[in-house]
Amino acid sequence: MKKLKFDPLNIVICGIGGQGNVLASEVVGSAMTDRGYRVAIGETYGASQRGGSVMSHVRVSENQELSVLIPSGEAHIIIGFEPLETLRMTRKYAGPNTMIVYDPRPVYPLGVLQGIQQYPDQEALMAEIAELSAAAYPVPAADIAMEVGDSRAANIALLGAFTQLPDAPLSREDLEKILTQRFKGAVLELNQKAFAKGCAAVSEKEG
């Protein structure tokens, strides 16, 4: 079993309803369990299931019994499907060792689309995410998903990117194994393509 750099290892997965946040946390949790770790997962939801904030806490240990909630400032990895949600979670949960992988493409809330609210400046938002973390990796997961033919695959693309982080507790092969268990046929093939492109998006930056 691979030694954890931090024990417990705390992972926050965040986005908005409908982006596949819960599936992503289940895939990560399943892969960690397969590796022999103890895993605790908790989810919180915003005002609505689709369009509201969604956050998963994934806590991993070699032998500790864990509560499901991560204390403020103690996340080691943040996986974000939407940049403003990523920033919100970064402000609350990031610490000096936090690594972040996220999609910088905004999903505008209804108030912004109606002209009632204003979405934050994207460059300033990304700069703050980078400043508050040890390392931040923007990955165009939604664009990757559209390239492979299904917008719903953005979460799988980000999981691929996650495996390439220097502190990632799972290898690419660990998560690929879970994908083959979860999906079959054409859906599996599509998700494998999205996953591979997500891996490449971070490995190229690291290289």
In a domain, 5, yes or no: no
In terms of residue numbers, what domain contains 94? 14-206
Q: How far apart are CA 129 and CA 145, in angstroms?
A: 23
pLDDT digits (tens, 9 = 90+) for 100-154: 999 999 988 777 888 888 899 999 999 999 999 999 999 999 999 999 999 899 9
Helical H runs in the chain?
Answer: 21-34, 83-93, 110-113, 122-131, 141-148, 154-163, 172-182, 185-206
In a domain, 68, yes or no: yes
In Å, what is the CA distance from 115 to each residue of 46, 110, 112, 129? Answer: 22, 9, 5, 25
In a domain, 164, yes or no: yes
In a domain, 3, yes or no: no
pLDDT score of 44 more than 90: no
Query: pTM for the complete prediction?
Result: 0.92
Which residues are within 8 A (CB) of 181 and not within 5 positions of it... i.e. 6 or more apart? 30
In a domain, 8, yes or no: no
pLDDT digits (tens, 9 = 90+) for 69-84: 999 999 999 999 999 9
The CATH number given to whatever domain includes residue 77 is 3.40.920.10
- Determine the pLDDT at residue 113: 82
In a domain, 7, yes or no: no
In a domain, 2, yes or no: no
**Mean pLDDT on 27-49:** 83
